[in-house]
Amino acid sequence: MVLISAHRCGAGDDPSGENGLHALEHSLELGVDYVEFDVRRLADGRLVVTHDAPDESTDESPGIELLPYDSLLERLAGRAGAHIDLKADGYEIEAASTALRHLRAEQIVITTGSVPGARSLRDWADQHGHGLRVGLSTGTSLSGLPLWTAAASLRHQLFPWRRYAAARADVLCAHHVLAAVTLRRLARRHRLDLLVWTVDDSRLLRWWLRPGRAWMVTTNHPAGALAVRPPSTPPVGGA
């Protein structure tokens, strides 16, 4: 059965229209498998959960909610897995170590767009015997780029195997369009778990949530995803 991850704690599905802890609790009550959230390090060294980057000089910005990373992990323990998306290099090991204090390694997937960041995390996890999943993200906007630059970027996004080999990532984390075109086959060929983001359309959810299409699907609408996901099928001869 394809797993469901509530993007940004499922804020898009929160009936209150709020982000943060309220959206997190709503997604957990729905019964999602994982919760996705962005983690950043502030200038004072604190790790926080926030989608938008705060002002670098003050670590504060009006209207931006900064949730303590450790506290959010506490709320997840025993209820769902953590899909941790890192927004910069340099704090991969700290983020992983903190997560492992609250969750088992098999309940954690850490994604990043950085090849060096993913590689350092994979090497550290292997060295210490932690079986957590490490994902390298593929899929950046081409908007505003010159034609030839956009074409080159698209080619690298559609055929990123060298980046994955260098990163030693075991999860291919890709925009659903790229995944449908080439990356689903690439993941299967190299035995990588495929994490697809961010799928909100009901028809696309039905397609991606069919068994075998992906390992995990990230969505802003976990309630809708749970409603259309096919039930798990017991093995032949099983109950």
Mean pLDDT, the chain, whole residue set:
87
Among candidate residues 175, 143, 196, the one with its CA nearest the CA of residue 2:
196
Confidence of residue 158 (pLDDT cuts 50, 70, 90): confident
Q: Give the predicted TM-score (pTM) of the model.
A: 0.88
Least confident of 35-44, 144-153, 160-169: 144-153
Whether 99 shows a pLDDT value over 90: the answer reads yes
What CATH code is assigned to 3-228? Answer: 3.20.20.190
Pairwise pLDDT comparison (97 vs 66), residue with the higher score: 97
* Distance in angstroms (rounded) separating the CA atoms of residues 52 and 63: 10
> How far is 43 from 26, CA to CA, in rounded Å?
31
How far apart, in Å, are the Cα atoms of 155 and each of 28, 35, 89, 159?
Answer: 38, 31, 25, 6
Distance from C-alpha of 79 to C-alpha of 24, rounded to nearest angstrom: 11
Window from 36-45, 70-79, 87-96, 153-162 with minimum mean pLDDT: 153-162
Beta strands in 42-112 (DSSP E): 47-49, 67-68, 81-86, 108-112
Percent of the chain at pLDDT > 70 equals 86
Q: Which pLDDT does position 239 carry in this prediction?
A: 39
